[in-house]
Chains A and B, each alone.
Chain A
Amino acid sequence: MQVYFFHLMPYGDLDIAESDKHNSAWVTIPNTCFDPSKGMKLYDRYIGELELADQLGFDGVCVNEHHQTAYGLMPAPNLIAAALARSTKQAKICILGRALPLVSNPVMIAEEFAMLDHMSGGRIITGFVRGIGSEYFSNSVNPTFSHERFYEAHELILKAWTDPGPFSYQGKHYQFDYVNLWPRPVQTPHPPV
């Protein structure tokens, strides 16, 4: 059995009484409810907690992706993973996960993960998700193509990691004339998904 430490990085300072005036803590809750000076302290604390988990011997630390919400302050989990790549030493770094259908360029996700694989010394574990409904409002992506975009982006990323480049990828939602990852990932055949 392995034990992993999963952080969701909530905005713990949310004024609940103010929040209750709005329909949801997602998408439409005004960002005036977010205090940057408190946010800076929260990021310091949360990244510190992930680093402590590494020092305490957890097998891995996990981050995830949510947008425009008090529920979590990690719209870009790869940024947290990048910080952890340098400041942690032994724990796996799990990005669970990137929401594939939300992006117009899945190759960039393949590139970022390949970079993280190098920067962490081959310690990353990747995860791919579709994202919950609110993400399709926040990212202005059509939810009715979510399944199609997920499977297509998933296929494209695995090919980008494993197939010799340059190659061409022509899908229904994603078309690339040149897929040629620099760097290729460290782990073989590719980082665990």
Chain B
Amino acid sequence: MQETVLDVRGTNVRMLTAGTGPRLLFLHGIDGPSADPLLEALAQRFTVIAPEIPGFTRSLIPDWMMSVSDAAFFTLDLITALGASKLHLAGHSIGGWIAAEAAIRSTTALASLSLLAPAGVMPRQAPAVDVFLMSGEEGVRALFHDQALADEEIAARAQLPLDITLQNRAGLARLAWTPRMASVTLAYWLHRIDVPTFIAWGEADKILPFSNHEIFMREIKGAQFKALPHCGHAIPRERGAEVARDMTAFIDGAK
């Protein structure tokens, strides 16, 4: 994967890009962007563009960006800055929320929308855990159904500079502290999404309840849903290749 920096109206956005084909903009989950199995598989068919959401990893958040609403408009500006024709928008977790919020504002530049365990709606049942109330290792374990993958992730994160981990936590808190990982109003506006939409959710998701998918499916007309048994919140790592196949088939079928 290649790393580039794009200036979006004065804010520098670091991006990983890979692959060739139609462009797919992927907004990462709560732990920042990474070359995970999902992006690697998507890059077989798409030009994958995976920016750091401002506030995450090595990107500072601009003073004026105070909410997911701001991040959503910024995403539309980012798409404008990338130029040219429509692209496929996708996001996981916090990134899925931002993608959905961008789409309720405008789908003019979108060819499709894919939401993987998106945050953003008020859960009807309390999440099993609070992402901000766990120690590092405990927090990683809660992301995965497959604890062998959690072991790998814990080992990998031990190699990461601490400031990146802290920056990801602060970036998430900035956008998603109250209400936790949710918006009071997003569900009301989801009906505005008028592009082909694909949604996937891990049945064993402890961070964002699996049942949240019902709200997205009820409000977004014609959306396609994929339930992932034996999968936690970390869809890109736990089921990346499989979900990439499903997304690709969905996008191909929706043409």
Contact = CB atoms under 8 A, between A and B. Distances in A.
Contacts of A136: 177
B169 to A, nearest CB: 10
B173 A143 contact: yes
Contact of A141 (B133, B170, B174, B178): B178
Interface string B160-174: 000000000010011
Interface residues of B, number: 8
B224 to A, nearest CB: 35
Contacts of B173: 142-144
A162 interface: no
B170 A144 contact: yes
Interface string B131-160: 011000000000000000000000000000
A137 B132 contact: yes
B174 A137 contact: no
Nearest to A140: B178
Interface size class of A (residues with CB under 8 A): 10 to 19
A142 B174 contact: yes
A28 interface: yes
A140 B177 CA distance: 8
A164 B195 CA distance: 56
A140 B174 CA distance: 12
B92 to A, nearest CB: 21
B133 A143 contact: no
Interface of A: 27-28, 136-137, 140-145
21 contacts: A27-B133, A28-B133, A136-B177, A137-B132, A137-B133, A140-B177, A140-B178, A141-B177, A141-B178, A142-B173, A142-B174, A142-B177, A142-B178, A143-B173, A143-B177, A144-B170, A144-B173, A144-B174, A144-B177, A145-B66, A145-B174
Given A136-B177, A143-B173, A144-B173, 15 more contacts: A27-B133, A28-B133, A137-B133, A140-B177, A140-B178, A141-B177, A141-B178, A142-B173, A142-B174, A142-B177, A144-B170, A144-B174, A144-B177, A145-B66, A145-B174
